[in-house]
Each structure stands twice: as structure tokens, then as C-alpha cells.
Amino acid sequence: MARATDVTKAQGDLYLERLTKSFGDFVAVDDLSLTVPQGSFFALLGPSGCGKTTTLRMVAGLEDPTAGRIKIGEADITELKPFRRPVNTVFQNYALFPHMDIYENVAFGLRRRGIKDVKTQVMEALELIELAQVAKRKPAQLSGGQQQRVALARAIVNRPAVLLLDEPLGALDLKLRRQMQLELKRIQTEVGLTFIHVTHDQEEAMTMADTVAVMNKGVIEQLGAPTDLYESPKTAFVANFLGQSNLFPAAVLEVDGEDIVLEDSDGRYRMPMNRVAPSVSPTRGGRVLVGVRPEKIHIERLAESDATPADGNYVDGTVRSSSFMGVSTQYEVATAGGEIISVFAQNLSARDLLSEGDPVRLTWAPRHGFVLNGSEDMNAGVEAVTAAAG
């Protein structure tokens, strides 16, 4: 496709430098610095009120930062009016112009930049979203999913340096959302634009984005590839907000070569040093949180495994509850030390199902656990997930 002449020709990575936005006493975005590489699919993930939408609106120019700079490549766009930025937004409620047909909606941006022959580009954009056949309809005559795609085409047709998506799938039902996630990813790969996607849905962020930044209370808690964030969370908030985690307090016993050895009332745990979050000081007696994902834990009847596992970490306990969920069964196991640990066991055979009161042993590989700073709130992010889901 032919590149349109941009209002500003800025190209390149997007830089947010020490960006702050306060509304009165409330600091929505707090000294945030971020680099989004050109052409990447970047997700800003966080619960409502974490500052992600405010960040997006500052990039779009709809909100003025209290402090800090925004740059695209070499160009500083902090002071530019929204209509002078090479940035387009897909709004949460789509914000399609109700009095214009789909064709005119998509052509709007091109026409405002004084491009005479818009037909080729508009039709190309409509074909990209596979909606060329509804060009003459009004937005109200389209379904939610179709309107969403039109909103996307209306932004993409301008070939912005950065495309912002503000919870674009929030209004769609679950099935359509899954479908649109794949669609969005396909379109992004096809057009190669930088996408910044704001969402509270961790699954959505992990499915689509190359890089995810988890935001909480105006700051970025952790940034990285979805698998890194999931496998090696650095804070309790990230561990709980992205998927589920078992977190329980323990104390540092010693550092033994490449490994750290921890202890709580249920026993000792050994993990490689590279599984320890940077905020943890591995001094003897230091308080930490041991984390392990429910699906990484192996559960078996205690009678069958009397011997202590050679390299694995283990905890003994009794099954407190079990819920059958089709592909897996979720167990809540109470340990002698008073912890409740949840386990997802794959349903390989219905005969293996454990029932309430069964004594069990939980084991997991050392490299599957992670160690967080003990001063953190174990439940950080749990309420946020519940709130975001509701």
C-alpha cells in the first residue's frame, strides 16, 4: 500500500520519558518511562484505574501530561495537538460517526489531510477487515463486531506511526472477542504498524502482544514477553494478576552455590538463584514469598510416595476440596503449616480423582517456583482480577 503523506512524518520507536499525569491530588501516571519498538504489538495491562488509559490518552494528545516527554523517533510530540500527531486511536466504544456511512467514516482521516483520491486506500482498508460489502451502510446498521473492525480500518487507513487501541474488544461477547483477538494479531502482522493495546484482560494481552507491560497504581510493575511475565513474575501483583499463583511466606536459610534454600513450617524448598526476584535480598533469615503456579504442581496420594523426592520441592497436606472442570481438576490442599495451596491436575484418567480428606503430597520442580520479596502483599492483584472480570 502507498504510504500516505503524514502531517508529521515522524517514524520510529515510541518513547515515553518520565511521564506523569496528576488530576488534583491523584497521581494517575507516576514517572513512567517506556520504549515501544517500531512495529511491535505492545500491551498495557492493568486493572481499572491503574493509569493505562490515561497513558494512552496522553500519547493520543487527548490529555496533557503534567510532566515528561513523548517522542516518536527523533520527533518530540508532547506539545502537539491530537490532529497533528501521527497517532490514531481505536476508541473503546468505537466512536464511529453515526451520520456518515462506513466508507466516509474510513475516508475521514485521509480527507482531512487533503488527500484527493481516497477510494483505493479506503477500499483496501475495508478489504483488510473483510467488510467492503457494507461500505454504503451506516454504523448503526452494523453488529458490534463489525463496528469494531470499522473503527480499526478507520485508524489503520492513515498508516499512523503508532496505533492506539483502548480496550477495543471490551464490548464484545466472549466468542467474538476470541475471534477478534486473532484477527487483530493478523492485521497487525500484515500492516506492520506499532500497536499499543490497553486492556484489563490478561488473556487478551498474552494472546496478542509481543511485549506486555503490567501497570498498577500509575507505575509499570513488570515489562516483558508474555511467557517471561507468566513464568517469572517479579512482584506479587504480577504473579496474581497474570494467571493464578500460590504464594506463601518463607524465610531464607542459606545460599548454596547456584541455589537458594528456603524454609517454612511445612519444610524446605530449594530453587535456583535465577528464580529469585531482584528485590529479594538473599540474606539468612530474610523474609520472602515462595510462588508456584497451580498447574506446575504434581499431586499424588501420600501412601504411594513415601520416599522424599530427590530434587523436587514438596509439601504434604490433605485435600480440602476438589472441583472437576473437564480438562482438569482443581484441588485445594491444606498443609500442616496452615497454607491453602491450589493445584490444577490434568484429567488423564477419571480413576485418579482424589476426594476430600485424602492425604496427598505436592511436588514441583525447583525451576518452576519463584521467589518474591517477603514484604509484598500476598493478595496484591487478586481483587484486581476479580474487579476486572466483573
Partner 1 sequence: MSVDTSTGQAAPERLSAGRRVRRWLGANALRVYMGIAFVYLLLPVAYTFLFSFNDAGRTNLTWQGFTFDNWLNPCGAPQVCQSVVNSLTLGLLVTLVATILGTLIAFALVRYRFRGRSTTNLLIFLPMATPEVVLGSSLLALFLNIFVPLGFWTVMIAHVMFCISFVVVTVKARLASLDPRLEQAAMDLYASEAQAFRRITLPLVAPGIAAAALLAFSLSFDDFIITNFNSGQFTTFPKFVYVSATRGIPPQANVIASAMFFIALALVVIGQVIGVRRRKG
Residue 172 or 206 with smaller CB distance to partner 1: 172
Residue 103 or 269 with smaller CB distance to partner 1: 103
To partner 1, the closest distance from the beta carbon of 83 in angstroms equals: 5
All cell numbers assigned to 256 = 548454596
Give 95-140 as a DSSP string.
---TTS-HHHHHHHHHHHTT-S--HHHHHHHHHHTT-GGGTTS-GG
95 binds partner 1 (CB under 8 A): yes
Q: What percent of the residues of the chain are helix, what percent strand, and what percent coil, each to the nearest 5?
A: 30, 35, 35
Which of 214, 210, 211 has the alpha carbon at shortest distance from 236? Answer: 214
11 binds partner 1 (CB under 8 A): no
Residue 149 or 293 with smaller CB distance to partner 1: 149
Give 303-360 as a DSSP string.
GG--SPPSS-EEEEEEEEEEEE-SSEEEEEEEETTS-EEEEEEE-S-GGG---TT-EE
182 binds partner 1 (CB under 8 A): no
Residue 109 or 233 with smaller CB distance to partner 1: 109
Q: Which stretch binds partner 1 (CB under 8 A): 45-53, 104-112, 204-212, 377-385?
A: 104-112
Distance CA 239, CA 296 (A): 14
Size of the residue set binding partner 1 (CB under 8 A): 24
All cell numbers assigned to 294 = 497451580
82 binds partner 1 (CB under 8 A): yes
Beta strands at 246-256 and 287-292: parallel, antiparallel or unpaired: antiparallel
The residue whose grid cell reads 545460599 is 255
State which of residues 17, 69, 91, 385 lies at the interface with partner 1 (CB under 8 A): 91
97 binds partner 1 (CB under 8 A): yes
9 binds partner 1 (CB under 8 A): no
Which string of x and - marks every residue 124-163 that binds partner 1 (by CB under 8 A)? ------------------------------xx--x-----
To partner 1, the closest distance from the beta carbon of 93 in angstroms equals: 7
88 binds partner 1 (CB under 8 A): yes
Which string of x and - marks every residue 36-75 that binds partner 1 (by CB under 8 A)? ------------------------xxx-------------
Distance CA 89, CA 82 (A): 10
Distance CA 162, CA 58 (A): 13
Q: Which stretch binds partner 1 (CB under 8 A): 46-54, 95-103, 207-215, 361-369?
A: 95-103
Query: Which residues within the stretch 255-314 sit at the binding site for partner 1 (CB under 8 A)?
Result: none
**Residue spans of alpha helices (H) in the chain:** 52-60, 102-112, 119-128, 144-156, 174-191, 202-208, 226-231, 236-241, 382-389
Residue ranges that bind partner 1, judged by CB under 8 A: 7, 60-62, 81-83, 87-89, 91, 93, 95-99, 108-109, 112-113, 154-155, 158
